[in-house]
Amino acid sequence: MLLNKHIIVGICGGIASYKAVELVSRLQQAGAVVDVIMTEHAEDFVRPLTFSTMSHRPVYSDLWEPSGQAAERHIALAEIAEALVIVPATANTIAKLAHGMADNMVTAVALATKAPLLLAPAMYKEMYMHPATQANLALLRERGAVVVEPEVGRLASGAFGPGRLPETSVLLGAISMLLGRKGDLAGRKVVVTAGGTQEPIDPVRYIGNRSSGKMGYALAMEARDRGAHVTLISGPVALPAPYGVEVHPVMTALQMRDAVYNAIRNADALVMSAAVADFRPLEAAAHKIKKGQGEFAGMPRAAGQAERDADGFPLYLTHNPDILGGLAAQLGQPEGGIQLQRRLIRVGFAAETDDVLAHAQSKLVAKQLDLLIANDVSRSDSGFGADTNKVFIFHANGAVEDLPVMPKTEVATAIWDRVVSLLGMA
Ligand code: C5P
């Protein structure tokens, strides 16, 4: 998404400017062409040399260079920019931008460019909360600027409150989203599920699986970066919530089913990459089950008496509903069931350990999917926890694509490419 994109990063004179060094480095590593511009006061915090080392390009800060070139510099930068991101944006620069001032390189480029503007305010909490700053930000938002809210936390002054610059990964997400807002999923609503479900045995124990959520999160971020409104229904995972994505955390398969059926009513596509538990304990114990305790979760007492052996701990499981399968069944019904506002492209995953192709083909048919993404989770370069995936894509028309091992981010791109062409046909 960032490859070859021309991004101007404007640095203001706040202590958080040191964090912008990492942002510039990450943008450059992602293949973006990054021009850094600085206010005079920003140079008091970080030397231009630091930024130019990261961006591999000159840094501009002086509107009044004696060579005279600077007279056109801000115009040239303004014209070439595909996005202007001001990180950190200080209260002073925000005020200048709101009122159309152009007294330094950053504000002059901001006034001259038609590129979308992203601001990441970072400052002392009282300056941020001040009605003047809030009114200026509201005005800038009204004019189309994207404001990445500062985080609440410990500020450089030692005080606690709003004003911290968000993590670089959040800023990268916001920039990718901004650049992709006119992408081929613009105006589309998509629902993605991710991670595994947890089925409680008692308040502290559960039945789970090895899904990391990486594939689903990559799918959600890719759709966001192509302009979609993304609802991500996520089981418990160790991944940060992606910027700009509506995340609905769930724990169990039943919660995931309800969240999915609710979210798809006005959606264009559903991609179910979650590893939904097929079984759950019939009943979760209300209290933690103690060692050697006679009662246990999910086991009807009478059945337990009959089945129990002296040292064993049988757990009585019941089937979870099949979310995709249930959807297919309901959509076939003329009355009742789930009413969708538009044709919903449905994509399922099949994580298999054996006979991958045969299992995948039958799942595509049984769940009435448009696409089924099959992977062999017994491979170390594929499936649970890995950063790469080796998948086959099964199409409803019988076509099968065999994709090479690639990063999950690229698998996500391939999947949305197929969904986009199906949406074009819908
Ligand atoms: O039948 P199986 O669990 O292998 O199918 C996997 C696909 O079905 C995945 O897309 C998964 O998210 C979805 N699924 C579901 N409801 C379940 C189990 C799996 O929708 N209870």
Output the tens digit of pLDDT for each of the chain's 426 residues: 899 999 999 999 999 999 999 999 999 999 999 999 999 999 999 999 999 999 999 999 988 776 656 568 899 999 999 999 999 999 999 999 999 999 999 999 999 999 999 999 999 999 999 999 999 999 999 999 999 999 999 998 898 999 999 999 999 999 999 999 999 999 999 999 999 999 999 999 999 999 999 999 999 999 999 999 999 999 999 999 999 999 999 999 999 999 999 999 999 999 999 999 999 999 998 998 887 665 554 555 555 554 555 566 778 999 999 999 999 998 877 776 788 889 999 999 998 888 888 889 999 999 999 999 998 877 777 777 788 989 999 999 999 999 999 999 999 999 999 999 999 987
| 59 part of a folded domain | yes
Query: Are the CB atoms for 133 and 95 separated by under 8 Å?
Result: yes
Last residue of a domain, one of 135, 159, 179: 179
Within this chain, do residues 167 and 197 fall inside the same structural domain, yes or no?
no
* 234 touches ligand 1 (CB under 6 Å): no
| Other CB atoms within 10 Å distance of the CB of residue 368 | 16
pTM attached to this predicted model:
0.92
Q: Which atom of ligand 1 is nearest to the CA of 324?
A: 20
Range of the domain at 268: 189-278+320-425
Same domain flag for 250 and 123: no
* Residue from 252, 272, 368, 377 whose mutation best tests the ligand 1 pocket (most atoms within 8 A of CB): 272
Q: What is the pLDDT of residue 290?
A: 80
Instruction: List the CATH number of the domain containing 146.
Output: 3.40.50.1950
Residues 145 and 194 in one domain: no
Co-location of 235 and 132 in the same domain: no
253, 327: one domain: yes
Instruction: Tell me, yes or no, whether 89 and 144 share the same domain.
Output: yes
Question: In this structure, is residue 148 part of a structural domain?
Answer: yes
Residue 184 belongs to some domain of the structure: no
Mark whether 79 and 209 lie in a shared domain.
Answer: no
Which atom of ligand 1 has the smallest separation from the CA of 278? 21
Q: Is 3 exposed, middle or buried (0-12, 13-18, 19+ CB in 10 A)?
A: exposed
Q: Are residues 146 and 107 in the same domain?
A: yes
Q: What is the pLDDT of residue 111?
A: 97
Per the CB < 8 A criterion, the answer to whether 367 and 324 are in contact is: yes
The reply to whether 270 falls in a domain is yes
| 25 and 56 within one domain | yes
With a 6 Å cutoff on the Cβ, whether 320 touches ligand 1 is: yes
pLDDT for the residue numbered 298: 53
Instruction: Take residue 28 and report the two structure tokens written for it.
Output: 């450059």
- d(CA 421, CA 399) in angstroms, rounded, equals 14
Residue 309 lies in a domain: no
Does 297 map to a domain? no
| Active site residue ranges | 209
**198 and 174 in one domain?**
no
Residue 324 alpha carbon to ligand 1 centre in Å:
6
Tell whether 392 and 271 lie within a shared domain. Answer: yes
Q: Is residue 299 part of a domain?
A: no
Cite the beta strand spans of 274-316 per DSSP E.
Answer: 279-281
Task: Decide if 85 contacts 115 (C-beta within 8 A).
Answer: no
Residues 152 and 214 in one domain: no
Mutate to test the pocket of ligand 1, among 252, 279, 318, 324 (most ligand atoms within 8 A of CB): 324
Which of 179, 213, 238 terminates a domain? The answer is 179
Most informative mutation of 349, 368, 394, 415 for ligand 1 (most atoms within 8 A of CB): 349
Tell the residue nearest (CA) to atom 6 of ligand 1: 350
The domain boundary, picked from 179, 207, 240, lies at 179
| Any atom of ligand 1 within 6 Å of the Cβ of 373 | no
Count up the domains in the chain and report the number. Answer: 2
Task: Say if 302 falls within a structural domain.
Answer: no
Contacts of 393 (CB under 8 A, 6+ apart): 371, 372, 373, 374, 400, 401, 403, 414, 415, 418
Residue nearest to atom 17 of ligand 1 (CA): 322
Does 348 sit in the ligand 1 pocket, CB within 6 Å?
A: yes
Q: What is the CATH number of the domain that holds 230?
A: 3.40.50.10300
